[in-house]
Amino acid sequence: MNNKAGSWIILAFVAVLAAGIAAGLFLGRSWPRGGGPSRSYRGGPPPSLERLAKDLDLTPAQKEEIRKIFERNEERLKEFHSQIHTHLNEMRSRLKTEIDNVLTPQQREKLNALLERHTRREREARRHGSSRPSPPPDEPKGEHP
């Protein structure tokens, strides 16, 4: 296999991996936190239970029922989120295995190093609240695998 074809395979793999990570970040940001429903990806966060209770003049019984609905829905969303991550991990694993079968041992080592560097950058970006990682010190801006 020539270097050009190997580069395209690596770029395709990194692009798919990045798409998976982006999907995970998107889903993670739209997941419920706490006792309310998940926020809509279109309209921002929904009103809190307290706000609904006040605006709708809910009785204590209504407020309790709605709180239970929120809790049930949160569990369903967590299960769905877990399933998505399981499927994404399976897909990434199959993709990696297929690509590894095409590469030489040296190319596999390089790919693993690229993926590890990409994973580190993503973790660092999440830790600092950035959705877009900056290049590490050993990789000047503008140079990408």
**Tally of domains within the chain:** 1
Q: Does residue 145 lie in a domain region?
A: no
E strand or H helix that includes residue 71: helix 60-102
Q: Which residues pair with 44 in a beta bridge?
A: 40
- pLDDT tier at 107, thresholds 50, 70, 90: very high
pLDDT in tens, 41-51: 455 667 888 99
Residue pair 114/21 in contact (Cβ under 8 Å)? The answer is no
Cα angle value 16/81/114 (rounded, 5°): 30
pLDDT at 18 over 80: no
Q: Mean pLDDT, the chain, as a whole number?
A: 77
In tens, the pLDDT along 47-82 reads 888 998 999 999 999 999 998 888 888 888 888 889
Question: Residue 11 and residue 142: Cα distance in Å, rounded?
Answer: 15
Domain presence at residue 136: no
Look at residue 135 and tell me if it is in a domain: no
Residue 52 belongs to a domain: yes
DSSP designation for 34: S
Which residue range(s) make up the domain with 66?
Answer: 3-36+44-127
Task: Determine the angle formed by the axes of helices 60-102 and 105-127, rounding to 10 degrees.
Answer: 160
Does residue 138 belong to any structural domain of this protein? no
Q: Is 132 domain-assigned? A: no
- Whether residue 69 is contained in a domain is answered as yes
Rounded to 10°, the helix 60-102/49-56 angle is: 140
- Strand partners for 40: 44
Is the predicted pLDDT of residue 131 greater than 80, yes or no?
no
Whole-number Å distance between alpha carbons of 7 and 24: 25
Is 22 domain-assigned?
Answer: yes
